[in-house]
Amino acid sequence: MEAPRGHVTILYCDESLVAVNKPPGMLSIPDRFQKEAPTVRAFLERKMGKVYIVHRLDKNTSGVMLLARTPEVHRALSLQFEYRRVEKIYHAVLAGILEKDELEIDFPLLPDPRRPGRMIPSARGKEARTYLRVLQRFQIATYVECRLQTGRLHQVRVHCAAIGHPLLVDPDYGGAPAFFLSSIKRHYKLAKEEVERPLLERVPLHALALGFEHPVTGQWMRIEAPLPKDFRALLHALQKYAPYSPEWLGSVYQSVLREPGARHP
């Protein structure tokens, strides 16, 4: 059984609700295949009694997760999600260089009838809307902020894959199964008989911030969760070994034109 990479951190707590920073590798609630695996809900209930899930994060997604401590608060928070009165901000690392600085993606999403548990873009699906903003470009990847107006299953992953830029690591939707430092660091060497371990082997997706109205006080709240260690390590490696520059891109373009049989795009 895969152990969660990190610990649940309580970001905010009062008598009505609790917000946590979920580590990658931990389930939000038990599923039918891993009934004994650690979950956010079980962790909190050992500390404070009954809690109610307001929204979930995928197992390998990290970041802000909100839970209610009473049925009444659960209902009120759920309605905010249902009527899209919450602010949801994710950070992600995409494969390839996203050319536009900002982009709106509004492909409807539908459960994939051939692959249970996955989603596909489809005109028959439910409305889904994601706004992307480039934070930093690298030679092989783009670091983006994602603002979600809707909250469909795998929304960021499917939307980014649909525009040709799946998450850098995401074998389900077209990304690599893992990311290795040797793919960007020149002259990377290992000791004899040593096997390289992945720098990242989960989707580079983090729920950075969640904004909502407190159901009891009426105060607008914005809870933020710092990036986890593995996400920061990925960004550091890309910044150090794969920095982006227009000059670099131009040299690559010219080298392609010089290759035998190469044609102008």
Assign 234 to helix, strand or coil. Answer: helix
For 248, the enclosing helix (H) or strand (E) is helix 246-258
Extract long-range pairs of 179-185: CB within 8 Å, 24+ residues apart: 179/234, 181/237, 181/241, 183/140, 184/139, 184/140, 184/237, 184/238, 184/241, 184/242, 185/237, 185/241
**pLDDT, average across residues 48-59:** 96
pLDDT value for 256: 35
pLDDT value for 29: 86
Judge whether 42 and 50 are in contact, CB under 8 Å.
no
Q: Mean pLDDT for the chain?
A: 90
pLDDT surpasses 90 at 147? yes
pLDDT value for 232: 97
**From CA 97, how far away is CA 204, in angstroms rounded?**
16
Tens digits of residue pLDDT in 57-77 = 999 999 999 999 999 999 999
Tens digits of residue pLDDT in 95-141 = 999 999 999 999 999 999 999 999 999 999 999 999 999 999 999 99
Give the helix, strand, coil percentages of the chain, each rounded to 5. Answer: 25, 30, 45
**From CA 154, how far away is CA 146, in angstroms rounded?**
13
pLDDT value for 5: 58
End-to-end Cα, the chain, rounded Å = 48
CATH of domain 9-258: 3.30.2350.10
CA distances from 101 to 131, 208, 232 (A): 11, 19, 22
Query: What is the pTM (predicted TM-score) of this model?
Result: 0.89
Could you give the angle at the alpha carbon of 224 between the alpha carbons of 63 and 159, nearest 5°?
Answer: 50
Could you give the angle at the alpha carbon of 221 between the alpha carbons of 219 and 224, nearest 5°?
Answer: 170
- Residues 58, 170, 172, 230: which is the catalytic one? 58
DSSP secondary structure string for all residues of 39-95: BHHHHHHHHHS--EESS---TT-EEEEEEESSHHHHHHHHHHHHTT-SEEEEEEEEE
Judge whether 185 and 241 are in contact, CB under 8 Å.
yes
Q: Does the annotation mark 112 as catalytic?
A: no
